[in-house]
Amino acid sequence: MIDGVDLGGRRVIVTGGASGIGVETARALAAAGAEVTVAVRNPAAAEPLVREVAAAPGPGSVRAAAIDLADLSSVAAFVREWQGPLDVLVANAGVMALPERRITAEGWELQLATNHLGHFALALGLHGRLRAAGSARVVVVSSGAHRGAAFDFDDPHFARRPYDRWAAYAQSKTADVLFAMGARRWLADGITANALNPGWISTNLQRHVDDATMRALGAMDDEGNIIEQPYYKTPLQGAATSVLLAASPLVDGVTGRYFEDNQEARTVADGDGEQAGGVAPHALDPHAADRLWEYAAGTVGR
Is 231 tagged catalytic? no
The amino acid occupying position 158 is: F
d(Cα 13, Cα 1) in Å, to the nearest integer? 18
CA-based nearest residue to 185, from 302, 296, 37, 69? 296
Q: Is 84 exposed, middle or buried (0-12, 13-18, 19+ CB in 10 A)?
A: exposed
Q: Tell me if 159 sits within 8 A of 119, measured CB to CB.
A: no
What is the SS3 assignment for 36?
strand
The amino acid occupying position 15 is: T
Q: What is the largest CA-CA distance in the chain?
A: 55
- Which is catalytic among the residues 169, 231, 232, 295? 169
Active site residues: 169
